[in-house]
């Protein structure tokens, strides 16, 4: 009797031990945070059209893995954070444990039209792959869960119907065009028979084309004066110039080498100190071909320019005193000007 009763007691004790071990294993597993297969998404401060297009592209790429709304920040979930700031999209990918963040900012202002949200979406996927190397396998597994689409009935077409062309890749960003209106000071040095220095004001209207080419026009008014033994000789010159040349650089800065010409009129006048001296006024045409080297910079709508100019006065003018040239606008010339203005 004693032996037969002890056998069931041993079986009951063994069952209790196995049940306790199962409860301990279940508790240990439940204590670890469970990782979900979803990827959260938050988008902030982006234009409405940009936001909608960005979410649509990420939904296509991630499929059922994408989670939006209040559940995006659930524990154990990877999530993407995208915030628009001026012309920069700040993209941050967070891993499921909250231990690693990868940032992949992108200046979407350089992409035309609907290419900007696609570029930001690709940057977000790259950041997400950096925190989760298994993302590609998870996307494939999620797509495998989706039921295969039923074959569509062949459309009835006429012989004239043409198939739709395949979707084209987004075009690369194009160089922006600008119009500049500038105002500044200029100094002009004539190196002919009578070396003359003139100073004045210069106004410019120039155009930056999409191709690497710049075109410009300017109007300049300058003044020069030279004292002589009989009095003084003064010159007032009003000239116009046009130039065209290739450009190198980007939207913020550029350098241009151009060829052009300058043509104007110079009014020469004299004043005589001795009573026996005689002074009179004349007006002459001046001008000739020129070479222009310029550098342009910009801060948003503010445009800045530094221009170096070299030319030769094929048509010149001189002011005489006692039969000798006292002031002259002939021969080679050099000029420098600094300007500021707006661009649009």
pLDDT digits (tens, 9 = 90+) for 279-328: 678 899 999 999 999 999 999 999 999 999 999 999 988 878 766 788 88
Q: In the chain, what are the domain boundaries?
A: 39-144, 178-343
Confidence at residue 47, expressed as pLDDT on a 0 to 100 scale: 86
Confidence at residue 295, expressed as pLDDT on a 0 to 100 scale: 96
pLDDT digits (tens, 9 = 90+) for 60-95: 888 878 887 655 566 777 888 888 887 788 899 888
Confidence of residue 34 (pLDDT cuts 50, 70, 90): very low
168-191 residues labelled b (16+ CB within 10 A) or e (exposed): eeeeeeeeeebebebebebebebe
Confidence at residue 12, expressed as pLDDT on a 0 to 100 scale: 58
Whether 67 and 40 have beta carbons less than 8 Å apart is answered as yes
* The pLDDT of residue 341 is above 90: yes
CATH number for the region 178-343 comes to 2.40.160.20
Looking at the chain, the whole-number percentage of residues with pLDDT higher than 70 is 77
Confidence at residue 153, expressed as pLDDT on a 0 to 100 scale: 54
Partners of residue 233 on adjacent β-strands: 226, 270
Whether 333 and 176 have beta carbons less than 8 Å apart is answered as no
Confidence at residue 156, expressed as pLDDT on a 0 to 100 scale: 54
Whether 342 and 302 have beta carbons less than 8 Å apart is answered as yes
* Residue with the two structure tokens 């039923």: 150
pLDDT digits (tens, 9 = 90+) for 156-165: 555 556 667 7
Confidence at residue 170, expressed as pLDDT on a 0 to 100 scale: 65
Confidence at residue 69, expressed as pLDDT on a 0 to 100 scale: 63
Alpha carbon of residue 83 to chain centroid: 19
pLDDT digits (tens, 9 = 90+) for 140-154: 887 777 765 555 555
* Residue with the two structure tokens 């079986």: 11
Q: Choose from 89-98, 190-199, 233-242, 264-273 the range with maximum mean pLDDT.
A: 233-242
pLDDT digits (tens, 9 = 90+) for 171-182: 656 678 999 999
Confidence at residue 26, expressed as pLDDT on a 0 to 100 scale: 43
Alpha carbon of residue 230 to chain centroid: 60
Partners of residue 255 on adjacent β-strands: 248, 295
Distances (CA, A) of 104 to 72, 81, 126: 20, 11, 8
Phi, psi (deg, nearest 5) at residue 335: -145, 150
Assess if CATH 3.30.160 describes domain 39-144. Answer: yes
Confidence at residue 24, expressed as pLDDT on a 0 to 100 scale: 45
* Stated pTM of the model: 0.49
């Amino acid at each position: 009797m004693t032996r037969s009763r002890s056998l069931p007691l041993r079986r009951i004790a063994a069952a209790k031990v196995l049940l306790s071990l199962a409860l301990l294993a279940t508790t240990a597993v439940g204590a670890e945070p469970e990782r979900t297969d979803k990827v959260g998404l938050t988008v902030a401060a982006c234009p409405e059209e940009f936001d909608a297009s960005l979410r649509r592209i990420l939904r296509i790429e991630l499929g059922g893995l994408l989670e939006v709304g209040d559940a995006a920040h659930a524990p154990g979930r990877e999530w993407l954070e995208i915030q628009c700031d001026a012309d920069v999209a700040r993209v941050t990918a967070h891993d499921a444990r909250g231990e690693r963040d990868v940032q992949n900012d992108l200046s979407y202002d350089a992409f035309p039209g609907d290419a900007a949200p696609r570029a930001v979406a690709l940057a977000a996927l790259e950041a997400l792959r950096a925190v989760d190397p298994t993302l590609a396998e998870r996307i494939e597994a999620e797509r495998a869960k989706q039921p295969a689409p039923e074959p569509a009935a062949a459309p009835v077409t006429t012989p004239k119907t043409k198939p739709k062309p395949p979707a084209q890749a987004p075009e690369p960003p194009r160089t922006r065009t600008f119009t500049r209106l500038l105002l500044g000071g200029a100094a002009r040095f004539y190196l002919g028979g009578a070396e003359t220095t003139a100073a004045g004001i210069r106004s410019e209207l120039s155009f930056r084309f999409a191709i690497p080419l710049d075109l410009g026009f300017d109007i300049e008014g300058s003044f020069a004066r030279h004292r002589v033994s009989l009095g003084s000789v003064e010159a007032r010159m009003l000239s116009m110039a046009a130039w065209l040349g290739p450009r190198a650089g980007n939207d913020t800065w550029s350098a241009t080498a151009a060829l052009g010409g300058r043509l104007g009129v110079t009014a020469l006048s004299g004043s005589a100190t001795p009573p026996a001296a005689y002074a009179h006024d004349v007006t002459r045409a001046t001008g000739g071909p020129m070479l222009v080297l310029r550098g342009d910079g910009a801060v948003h709508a503010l445009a800045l320019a530094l221009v170096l100019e070299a030319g030769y006065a094929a048509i010149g003018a001189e002011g005489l005193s006692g039969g000798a040239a006292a002031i002259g606008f002939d021969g080679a010339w050099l000029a420098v000007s600094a300007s500021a203005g707006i661009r649009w």
